[in-house]
Amino acid sequence: MRGARARARFASNRTAVAGGVVIGLLVLFALLGPALAAHDATTSDFVHGVAPRTGLPAGPSATFPLGADRLFRDQLARLAAGARLSLAIALGATLLSTLLGAAVGITSGWLEGRQTRVAWPAVVGAIAGAVTALSGWPRAGLALAAAGVLLSLVTRLPGPRLDVDALLMRFVDVMLAFPFLLLVMALGAAVERSSAAAILLTLGFTGWLGTARLLRAKTMQVRAADYVVASRALGQPTARVLLEHVLPNVAGTLVVTASLQVAQMIVADSVLSYLGLGIAPPTPTWGRMLFEGQDYYASAPWLVAAPGAAIVVSVWGFNMLGEGLRDALDPHQA
């Protein structure tokens, strides 16, 4: 019932529908574009790509619908390949950061204001994992911490009582004050630099802080609601209360933040490429294309216009979708 009403609100919201259409077209372009483009994204064409008299990149024509870039490569093919990368990175990073943010936020909000018994494996795993990661083995550290948490989730072992919420939020505070670029370089060094996976992990592991804070506040609201208090009083196990009552009621907020975050991730990815910290050339990314094209903006304006428009339109699409979803799923905030 609630779903139907939300769908109706979403469908009657022109901004949201426009955002959805833009994203649909973008996905279509990313999927079909590389196949439709007649040329390879990384091969120079010194015959057709060069303007006859000036020797500059050729402008838009039948062979090159969006012109050629400064190394005489097909701009359309590069834009389409870039769309694939940008979308894949943005969606993957958002998925990662949303999952992390939801896990931390819901845990923190649920446990706010009380001491919780944490099993020793989790405590030891977290500390040992942090030390290991900071001594130069980030993957081993992550594995240690994950193993510790998992072990204490499946078994019932004794442990100290800790204010988990305070610890998690203090960690978020520190991470928020940490310079983003240094984090990017650190994570880039931890996983192999300048691959798409590295950028995805970097953005995913840095983007969850805001989501966690928001979800914590939302969970605290839901936790105080009568139906949650009642189901706890009836003796339902915590896991069930979280899954059946808390998660559905914070899901709207989660979907809205996620779709707005895809937009931020596209921007962040293009910023990294623009600064030269992204995926290494010759792989085409929108940010890199813009950076390489900006010197030619007077003689070959399509080199700036195409990637610039691609970035703005896709970010705009996800922003509009997010706004529309907020109006549809979260009527109080509209």
Partner 1 sequence: MTWLLRRVGWAVFVVWAVVSLAFVVNNLVPGDPARMVAGVQARPADVARIREQLGLGAPPLVQYARFWRRLVHVGPRDVAKGDPVHSSCGVVIALGHEALHVDLGRSYQLGQPVVDVVATRLPRTFALALAGLLLQLLFGVATGALAASRRGSWIDRWVVGTSVLGVSAPTFLIALVLQIIFAQTLRWLPLDGFGKTFADHARCLVLPALTLGVYGAAYYTRLTRDELSVLLQQDWIRTARAKGLPPRGVLRHALRAALVPLVTSAGLDFGALMGGAVVTEQVFRWPGLGQLAVTAMLNRDGPLILASVVVSSVAIVASSVAVDALQLRLDPRTRARS
User: In the complex, which residues of this chain contact partner 1 (CB under 8 A)?
Assistant: 15, 134, 136, 173-174, 176-179, 181-183, 185-186, 189-190, 263, 267, 270-271, 274-275, 290, 294, 297-298, 304, 308, 311-312, 315-316, 319-320, 323
User: CB of residue 274 vs partner 1: minimum separation in angstroms?
Assistant: 5
What is the 3-state composition of the chain as percent helix, strand, coil, each rounded to the nearest 5? Answer: 70, 0, 25
Q: Kindly give the interhelix angle for 75-111 and 302-329, rounded to the nearest 10 degrees.
A: 30
Distance in Å, CB of 191 to partner 1, minimum: 12
Q: Which amino acid appears at position 207 of this protein?
A: G
Single out the residue of 168, 334, 169 nearest to residue 252, CA to CA.
334
Using left for φ > 0, alpha for ψ between -120 and 50, and beta otherwise, residue 10 falls in: alpha
Of the candidates 121, 96, 101, which has an alpha carbon nearest to the alpha carbon of residue 168?
101
Q: Measured from the CB of residue 94, what is the shortest distance to partner 1 in angstroms?
A: 16
The Cβ-side half-sphere exposure at 178, using a 13 Å CA radius, reads 16
Nearer of residues 238 and 294 to partner 1, judged by Cβ: 294
* Burial environment of residue 116 by CB neighbours within 10 A (0 to 12, 13 to 18, 19 or more): middle
CA dihedral 109, 113, 119, 120 (to 10 degrees): 110
Beta carbon nearer to partner 1, 242 or 325: 325
* Minimum CB distance to partner 1 smaller for 132 or for 283: 132
Toward partner 1, which CB reaches closer, 241 or 310?
310
Distance of closest approach, residue 267 Cβ to partner 1, in angstroms:
5
Name residue 206's amino acid.
T
CB of 145 to partner 1, least distance (A): 16
* The residue type at 211: T
Question: Rounded to whole angstroms, how far apart are CA atoms 327 and 334?
Answer: 5
| Shortest CB 44 distance to partner 1, Å | 25
Q: Which is nearer to partner 1, 32 or 176 (CB)?
A: 176
Q: Which is nearer to partner 1, 64 or 274 (CB)?
A: 274
